[in-house]
Every structure is written in C-alpha cells, then in structure tokens.
Amino acid sequence: LDLRGAEGALVPMNDQQRKVLLELAQRLAALEPDAFDYAAKSPEVSRETMDELEQAGLVETFLATGYGEVLFYRLTSAGMEALSDASS
C-alpha cells in the first residue's frame, strides 16, 4: 500500500497507517453497526496518521450525530480498493 506524497510520488505506507486501514476493513467485514466508523479518539492512533490517510483519499472524516463534536473516520472506496489490491 502506498500514499501519494506532496509531489504526487508514491511513498510507502507505514505500519500504523496500514494497521488503521486494516482495522477499518475488519469492522466493515464483521458488519458491526459502526462498521464504517473509527473514532478519532482512539489512543493508539495519532491524528497525524489519520490526516495522512485522509490526504491520500483512503479515509474520510464526518461528524456523527449523538456523539458531540467527535470526528469519526470511515474507509473510502479508494481505501477499500487499496486493501483489496494489497491482499490479492
């Protein structure tokens, strides 16, 4: 899995970024009620990691109603495709 760097060049995804994408995909596969959601407050994931994934278009942010002003993340179709490509 690669991210696009500032100049558009592909840069390897680090372990933390890969872990986040895989966790999102696993929640989706498990068909949990919040399958697309990943709370930004998760202590083991830095905001910087999520920002990098969002800039690469692999995740997107949204505000979930009923949770206050907490940002959540969901896997985009590009993120799902990237994981699919990596596992094949």
Q: Which domains does the chain possess?
A: 2-87 (1.10.10.10)
Q: Exposure pattern of 55-67 as b/e (b: 16+ CB <10 Å)?
A: ebebbeeeeeeee
Give the pTM: 0.54
Residue in this structure with the two tokens 């993340």, named with its chain if needed: 73
pLDDT score of 68 more than 80: no
CB distance 36 to 25 below 8 Å: no
pLDDT in tens, 9-64: 555 667 777 777 777 776 656 544 554 455 444 556 677 777 888 888 888 877 66
Q: Which residues contact 61 (CB under 8 A, 6 or more apart)?
A: 40, 50, 54, 71, 72, 73
CB distance 29 to 23 below 8 Å: no
